[in-house]
Amino acid sequence: MDSNPVLDSKIEKRKQSTLAAMRQSIRLVSLPFFILGLLLPIYGTEMGAGAVQIGLFFTAFSLMTVILRPLVGWALDRWGRRPFILAGFGSYALAMVAFAFINQWWGIIAARVIQGIASSLLWLSIYAATADLAGEDRRARSFGGISQASSQGSIAGAFIGMTILNWPFTIAGMDEFAGKWLVMFLLFALTSGLAFFLALRGVKETRPVRPAGHVEQPIRWSRAWLLLLLVTFITGASWAMVSPVLIIFLRQNLNVEVGQLSWAFLPSGLVWAIFPTYLGRLADRFGRKPMMVLGLAMAAISSFVIPFLGSILAFAAIWALQALCYAAGDPAEQALVADLTGGDQRGRAYGIYVMMADLGAAFGPLVGGWLYDSVGTGWPFYANGIVLGICAVLLVALLKEPGKN
């Protein structure tokens, strides 16, 4: 059948409109992400939590996503992407309300469970919808655009959060930090609610319509797909070893305050806000494997350097380099999932892929906390560098992309 240029143009405009609406809503829902990651370990420490308890903040989130991702992936293929995108934005608003009212360290765990539910619903459906809308030649850059939008929101949220923290006010019956925490996360609950309404208006269903008599093709379980899942699990655990102890390490070893920490992370946030789409284009042009290997290798090297840093400026530079490494590899990896598994069961494929990352992330924080407390403060970073280097070697030796020798 000959193509209809007018119809093709309308379909393309609808696709781009939905991608734009998703990015707009993601910017809003991502406002609390940076400030939450920065303050959770600090707030937990003030409530009496140690490194292991802080690790539980991250493990609780990851375990919830491990349980839910495969179920959500199956549901996406059966009922479509849009209902779960909307449910995800709504759940994030509820999570921010829960964060606003916590006053014990175990309350952080409860709020993280709700956030895990929200994450399971939203990001998996966003991944599937992005793969639906973007052709193979633009897939990595489209995933980069999603990462970019989230980072842009996180940077804006960091400025909002730091403005509130530095604003001289108190709430009757609450200490100063707790009152500012309450105001901050009630505001983020409102912006997450706005993200829901923008998605309700602008995001259309993206699940491909199958012709009558179409026989659904199952996920292709190739050696490359199994290798990708293994590497995803290992790197998820490795990165999570560092996450819960990084802020504690910087405060204890470099004697920096919260305000200095926020500025130290700004360069890495700018990397994520500017470069993922451009780096995704390189993955679309030159292949997924080179960008993934380069990202892992450089991230491994930078992880070894962190324990030897003597200033917050040096940390800011190294962390920005590490962000550039991950910004190169992540869009390529996310696009490779669709390349390897086919198009009929994208929800299930991304459910399995993200579940493996979350399964690793569920154990990583506990290992990182134990290494930090029992072996040495630099050992989570050394272990992370070793693991990332091994994974880069595995990809070089064993990964074959579809259509490539």
98-133 residue pLDDT tens = 999 887 777 888 899 999 999 999 999 999 999 988
Residue 278 amino acid letter: Y
Residues 6+ apart with CB under 8 A from 213: none
CATH architecture of 14-204+217-398: Up-down Bundle (1.20)
Q: At what angle do helices 379-398 and 346-370 cross, to 10 degrees?
A: 150
Stated pTM of the model = 0.83
Two structure tokens written together for 234: 């290992």
List Cα–Cα distances, 87 to 71, 77, 78, 94, 208, in angstroms.
14, 16, 16, 11, 20
Question: How large is the greatest C-alpha to C-alpha distance in the chain, in angstroms?
Answer: 71
List Cα–Cα distances, 219 to 84, 223, 352, in angstroms.
21, 12, 11
Highest mean pLDDT among 12-16, 133-137, 253-257, 298-302: 298-302
**363 φ, ψ (degrees, to nearest 5):** -95, -30
CB atoms within 10 A of CB 170: 12
375 pLDDT exceeds 80? yes
172 pLDDT exceeds 70? yes
Residue with tokens 């030897």: 308
Which of 235, 261, 262 lies closest to 359 in space, CA to CA? 235
Two structure tokens written together for 401: 């992309």
Q: Which DSSP letter does residue 308 get?
A: G
Give residue-wise pLDDT tens across range 329-360: 999 999 999 889 877 788 899 989 988 888 88
Q: Would you say how long the chain is, in residues?
A: 405
213 pLDDT exceeds 80? no
Predicted pLDDT of residue 148: 94
Highest mean pLDDT among 175-179, 195-199, 287-291: 195-199
Predicted pLDDT of residue 9: 64
Which of 188, 160, 175, 196 lies closest to 97 in space, CA to CA? 188
Which of 177, 158, 76 lies closest to 121 in space, CA to CA? 76
Q: What is the mean pLDDT of the chain?
A: 86
CB atoms within 10 A of CB 342: 16
1: confidence class by pLDDT, cuts 50, 70, 90: very low
In terms of C-beta density within 10 A (0-12 exposed, 13-18 middle, 19 or more buried), how is residue 178 classed? middle
Percent of residues, the chain, with pLDDT higher than 90: 45
195: confidence class by pLDDT, cuts 50, 70, 90: very high
Domain boundaries, the chain: 14-204+217-398
51 pLDDT exceeds 90? no
Mean pLDDT (whole number) for 179-203: 95
